[in-house]
């Protein structure tokens, strides 16, 4: 019997949230058993145009959602927090409007909602329609777990005093007993429900247990204890990644060919790759310290640096390092990390970057900035032992050189390389035919096909 299901997908259009959601949707849509399923992808025009980059997919239709700026005018100015605030103040009405349009256009009622977990109100939209809500957490299990324990953490902070709590460990959170309070995401530590981001995540924590399934782009074997704990908190907790090992990524054409050719000429595991993701640029003093460390240590480097940050480099840096360094405004990161000449990744510890580094076995040097990144860096250094954090947590010339030496030249680096290669193997096993992530993905597919539950 042919199935006719219509899945409504609600994206969060900031940072690297919408792209992995689209990767998941493409994987669901192209699976041979998903015939008859239509996906309507609801996202802002700006984010849709970035992630679809003009490509069309058979059973996925993109719909533009109002970004909250004045009607008819896309948001252009201000910082990302202002843009988020505007967008959030337009929800859920902006999504409801296009959901109705998609139903009229397809002639099919939406039978299941799949959303970024941040968009907690999807729970109410799904309840109102009597359909399931599947939520996608775009970061790691460890940060999701920390958020799920927010009430206990806040109550401890109140009874002990925030300052005294900082160095205490999360002894009551399974799998995170070595994590200090000071490693936690700022939204938990600030305990300020007046911040729109904190409020959004706090509301998400209340709603997630009602979600038919919580999906993460990770693999169970990286955090078995956290995974089991989260399985006990949610109706279904499905690790379906790393998606880059299980699904083809969107091609970005020939962009970045120049740096790939340059990498081909470098020695095995000799290059330092540097990127701080899609949102962050370090402060000028740190940019200068990092540049000086690269220049002094003379390791070949490839730096993904937005054009507007070039002015933060020391005068003459480009000329002096041109024999061994390359700067690009955007790198084809997956192909870069896959290249055997890359020996270390200086990263802000966004979850996608960490997962990509694990998938290609590249040790990390961590300089986290906000949100989940600090906690991720703690896990990288102390739990998974696949990278190092900078002394003092920020770039200084000497601290950065020390970190580079320990990864590239010392025994520490050798052990870290072995650890990350073991973890990479576990990730690869998870996406094999009978791997845990493959089984979870099949369960997810069944769930959205017959939306009454697995």
- Whether residue 92 has a cis bond before it, omega within 30° of 0: yes
Q: Measuring CA to CA, which residue among 344, 377, 338, 378 is closest to residue 356?
A: 338
* Interstrand relation of 325-328 and 237-239 (parallel, antiparallel or unpaired): unpaired
Q: If 0-12 CB within 10 Å is exposed, 13-18 middle and 19+ buried, where does residue 72 land?
A: exposed
Considering the complex, state which of residue 297 and residue 304 has its C-beta at the smaller distance from ligand U2F: 304
Dist CA 242 CA 217 (whole Å): 6
Taking CB under 6 A as the criterion, which residues in 267-286 touch ligand U2F? 275, 277-279
Q: If 0-12 CB within 10 Å is exposed, 13-18 middle and 19+ buried, where does residue 314 land?
A: middle
Dist CA 291 CA 286 (whole Å): 8
Considering the complex, state which of residue 5 and residue 333 has its C-beta at the smaller distance from ligand U2F: 333
- Under the binding rule (CB under 6 A), the answer on residue 371 touching ligand U2F is yes
- Whether 74 contacts 47, CB under 8 Å: no
Taking CB under 6 A as the criterion, which residues in 309-338 touch ligand U2F? 330-331, 333-334
Taking CB under 6 A as the criterion, which residues in 188-207 touch ligand U2F? none
Residue tagged active-site, from 17, 67, 147, 223: 17
Residue tagged active-site, from 6, 67, 116, 147: 116
Shortest separation between residue 370's beta carbon and ligand U2F, angstroms: 7
- Describe the crossing of helices 18-30 and 45-52 by its angle, rounded to 10 degrees: 60
- Under the binding rule (CB under 6 A), the answer on residue 139 touching ligand U2F is yes
Classify 303 as helix, strand or coil: strand
Question: Is 223 designated active site?
Answer: no
- Under the binding rule (CB under 6 A), the answer on residue 138 touching ligand U2F is yes
Dist CA 277 CA 24 (whole Å): 20
- Under the binding rule (CB under 6 A), the answer on residue 17 touching ligand U2F is yes
Considering the complex, state which of residue 17 and residue 207 has its C-beta at the smaller distance from ligand U2F: 17
Q: Which of 83, 142, 372, 404 binds ligand U2F (CB under 6 A)?
A: 372
Helix (H) or strand (E) holding 103: helix 93-106
Q: Which of 353, 374, 400, 436 binds ligand U2F (CB under 6 A)?
A: 353
Considering the complex, state which of residue 106 and residue 190 has its C-beta at the smaller distance from ligand U2F: 190
Considering the complex, state which of residue 111 and residue 223 has its C-beta at the smaller distance from ligand U2F: 223
Question: Is 116 designated active site?
Answer: yes
Residues in the site for ligand U2F, rule: CB under 6 A?
15-17, 138-139, 275, 277-279, 304, 330-331, 333-334, 350-353, 356, 371-373
Active site residues: 17, 116
């Amino acid at each position: 019997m042919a199935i006719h299901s219509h899945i409504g997908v609600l994206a969060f259009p900031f940072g690297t949230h919408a792209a992995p959601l689209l990767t998941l949707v493409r994987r669901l849509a192209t699976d041979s058993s998903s015939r008859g399923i239509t996906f309507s992808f609801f996202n802002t025009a700006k984010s849709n145009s970035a992630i679809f980059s003009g490509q069309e997919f058979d059973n996925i239709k993109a719909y533009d959602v109002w970004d909250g700026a004045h009607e008819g005018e896309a948001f252009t100015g201000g910082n990302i927090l202002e843009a988020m605030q505007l967008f959030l103040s337009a929800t859920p009405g902006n999504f409801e409007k296009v959901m109705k349009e998609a139903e009229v256009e397809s002639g099919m009622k939406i039978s299941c909602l799949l959303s970024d977990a941040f968009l907690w109100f999807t729970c109410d939209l799904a309840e109102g329609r009597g359909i399931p809500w599947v939520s996608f957490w775009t970061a790691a299990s460890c940060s999701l777990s920390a958020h799920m324990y927010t009430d206990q953490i806040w109550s401890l902070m109140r009874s002990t005093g925030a300052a005294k709590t900082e160095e205490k460990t999360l002894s009551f959170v399974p799998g995170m007993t070595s994590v200090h309070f000071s490693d936690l995401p700022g939204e938990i530590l600030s305990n300020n429900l007046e911040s729109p981001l904190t409020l959004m995540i706090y509301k998400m924590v209340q709603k997630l247990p009602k979600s038919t399934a919580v999906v993460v782009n990770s693999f169970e074997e990286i955090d078995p204890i956290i995974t089991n704990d989260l399985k006990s908190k949610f109706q279904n907790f499905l690790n379906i990644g790393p998606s880059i090992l299980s699904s083809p990524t969107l091609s970005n054409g020939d962009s970045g060919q120049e740096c790939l050719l340059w990498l081909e000429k470098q020695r095995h595991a000799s290059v330092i790759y540097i990127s701080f993701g899609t949102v962050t640029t370090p402060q000028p003093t740190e940019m200068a310290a990092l540049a000086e460390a690269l220049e002094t240590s003379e390791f070949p480097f490839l730096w993904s640096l937005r054009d507007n940050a070039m002015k933060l480099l020391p005068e003459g840096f480009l000329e002096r390092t041109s024999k061994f360094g390359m700067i690009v405004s955007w790198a084809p990161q997956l192909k870069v990390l896959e290249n055997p000449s890359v020996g270390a990744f200086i990263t802000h510890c966004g979850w996608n970057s960490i997962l990509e580094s694990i998938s290609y076995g590249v040790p990390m040097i961590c300089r986290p900035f906000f949100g989940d990144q600090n906690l991720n860096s703690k896990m990288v250094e102390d739990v998974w032992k696949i990278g190092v954090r900078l002394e003092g947590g920020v770039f200084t010339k000497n601290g950065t050189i020390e970190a580079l030496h320990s990864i590239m030249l010392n025994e520490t680096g050798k052990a870290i390389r072995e650890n990350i290669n073991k973890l990479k193997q576990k990730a690869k096993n998870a996406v094999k035919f009978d791997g845990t992530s493959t089984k979870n993905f099949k369960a997810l597919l069944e769930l959205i096909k017959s939306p009454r539950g697995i």
